[in-house]
Amino acid sequence: MTIYADNAATTKLSDTALQAMLPLMQEHYGNPSSLHHIGQKAKEYVEDCRERIAACINASPGEIYFTSGGSEADNQAIQTAAALGAKKNKKHIISSKFEHHAVLHTLEQLEKQGYEITLLDVYKEGVVRVEDVAAAIREDTALVTIMTANNEIGTLQPIEEIGKLCKEKGVLFHTDAVQAVGHIPVDVKAMNCDLLSVSAHKFHGPKGVGFLYCKKGTALQSLIHGGAQERNKRAGTEYTYGIAGMTAALEEAVTNLDKNAAYVSSLRDIIIDGVADIEKSFVNGDLAHRLPGTVNMCFEGIEGESLLLLLDQNGICASSGSACTSGSLDPSHVLLALGVPVAIAHGSLRISLSEYNTKEEAEFIVKAIHQVVPYLRSISPVWERIQKGEVIE
């Protein structure tokens, strides 16, 4: 038996998405830049997808730029804002401590190039405060970039308010909406954002494709130079079947959004309620403002890696946090930003569910955690010290 509970890392491709991809792989395989009919057919598909995707987030087709995924979209958005800022001698960027590494590492690069970066606190709740953004904005602020939903703990950020503030102050606003799109309503106009990043494989689309929304009038800079694809803003032959799969997956997700959100959050709550009686354990981040499917918990006195391995032996695929940092022994930068002590941050578990999960699976996960946590504690010297009342740092 396999229970896939790592949907924040990636999701299963939906059948609808697969079916939308096959004709572009097998029949309409032309290069959209070719002038012959098979090329033009492929181009028609791509432009149709652009329109349908724009409709899903209340944008115009001309504001959608296809990319290789969320990381590229984040890089392009931030590099664009940095370049536009530099032209006006604005080299200050505001972000938060718990952004995805695609954002944080891009900002680190910019810092080396002379930009000044302010990373806002996210507090114990894992939520950026609008008043902190307001206080951080300066005359020379070029960009505010705050994620819509955090990938490790699932908390939602006050994006509409931050967007409104940035608009009033005349500062560009980017949001990494990779975990949000297809899971909660996303409307670029309501969010007041200038740039927004999306990745298909987080909503049952294929891997290696995503898009950047860039509001009309914002001069997008190119990261990849070459041909004239994507109105000269992103060179490279279009990933036609990826784009088709992403479009089908997004439409499917948006059509079923309310139904899926209600169902998936009921499964998530089975897990939160089911493990609440385990002593010295807690859920990370605000309970009220969160994605339907994601929950991140800490169990004191155990190692997240051992917990994952034992869950895996029970058929359960989960994560200790982000897929990008697992494999390294560094504790999660997200949990540290929340103020979780290093020793406890090592004992974290992220369960991220989707509409493909069942109630029985959620109940099985609860049962497995109830077996595995006490077992690991029974062989843990750290747990022994905790029980003697020692404070572990």
Unique residue bearing structure tokens 């290093």: 342
Active site residue 324: yes
Q: How many CB atoms lie within 10 A of CB 348?
A: 26
Question: 141 or 145, CB closer to ligand PLP?
Answer: 145
Q: Closest separation between CB of residue 147 and ligand PLP, Å? A: 6
Question: 182 or 210, CB closer to ligand PLP?
Answer: 210
Q: Closest separation between CB of residue 242 and ligand PLP, Å? A: 11
Binding site for ligand PLP (CB under 6 A): 69-71, 74, 100, 102, 147, 151, 176, 178-179, 199, 202, 210
Question: 128 or 178, CB closer to ligand PLP?
Answer: 178
Q: What is the token pair recorded at 48?
A: 């149709």
Q: Closest separation between CB of residue 159 and ligand PLP, Å? A: 13
Question: 70 or 163, CB closer to ligand PLP?
Answer: 70
Q: Closest separation between CB of residue 21 and ligand PLP, Å? A: 17
Spatial separation of the C-alpha atoms in residues 111 and 146, rounded to whole Å? 17
> Which of the residues 166, 193, 214, 324 is marked catalytic?
324
96: left (phi > 0), else alpha (psi -120 to 50), else beta? beta
CA separation, residue 302 to residues 64, 341, 375, 381 (Å): 45, 13, 10, 9
Q: Are strands 294-299 and 281-283 parallel, antiparallel or unpaired?
A: antiparallel
Question: 213 or 383, CB closer to ligand PLP?
Answer: 213
Spatial separation of the C-alpha atoms in residues 261 and 346, rounded to whole Å? 29
The answer to whether the CB of 76 falls within 8 A of the CB of 67 is yes
Question: 126 or 210, CB closer to ligand PLP?
Answer: 210
Of 132, 126, 177, whose CA–CA distance to 152 is shortest? 126
Question: 247 or 281, CB closer to ligand PLP?
Answer: 247
Q: Closest separation between CB of residue 73 and ligand PLP, Å? A: 8
Q: Closest separation between CB of residue 57 and ligand PLP, Å? A: 16
Instruction: Give CA 43 to chain center in angstroms.
Output: 29
Q: Closest separation between CB of residue 66 and ligand PLP, Å? A: 12
- The catalytic residue positions are 324
